[in-house]
Amino acid sequence: MRRLLLLLAILAIAFLILFFSFGPALAGGAINGVTVRPPYRASPRAKALAERAFTVDLHADSLLWGRDLSVRSTRGHVDVPRLIEGRVALQAFTIFTKSPHGLNFNRNSGAAFDDVSALMFIQLAPVAAWTNLTARALYVAY
């Protein structure tokens, strides 16, 4: 009986380590998937326009995922090397604090399960960030 309990404890600990180690990356990949893989091709006309344009992106949720944005990444949509490569002149890094599960354009319920609460949990954010939207915004901004 003791061996069984020890084995179950070891398996539970191993599961928790794997869950908290790989959970955030798996969630980010599932939510922020890229449907068309690079390399991306642009016409000469599009390239010429990009050379002259003052490119502005007013929305990126990259801060929510806890990644080092100074390093090129294979996941997510924004990091500094890709911003430079894309000649983005201005980038707004936004912070959203709540996202109802099953989010859609037509109708959402404030009572729906909050996906960001789950993300805060699997990222091992401070407990206050799991339920308090102000604490969550401050944690993500830091």
Annotated domain spans of the chain: 42-94, 98-142
Q: Calculate the alpha carbon distances from 35 to 47, 64, 75, 86, 125 in Å.
A: 22, 21, 12, 19, 29
Instruction: Give the CA angle between residues 15, 17, 19 to the nearest 5°.
Output: 65
Looking at residue 33, its pLDDT comes to 67
For residue 79 the two structure tokens come to 């990091």
47-91: pLDDT as tens digits? 999 889 999 999 888 888 878 899 998 777 889 999 998 889 999
53-63: pLDDT as tens digits? 999 999 888 88
Q: Does pLDDT of 119 surpass 70?
A: yes
pTM over 0.85: no
15-49: pLDDT as tens digits? 888 888 887 777 777 776 667 777 888 899 999 99
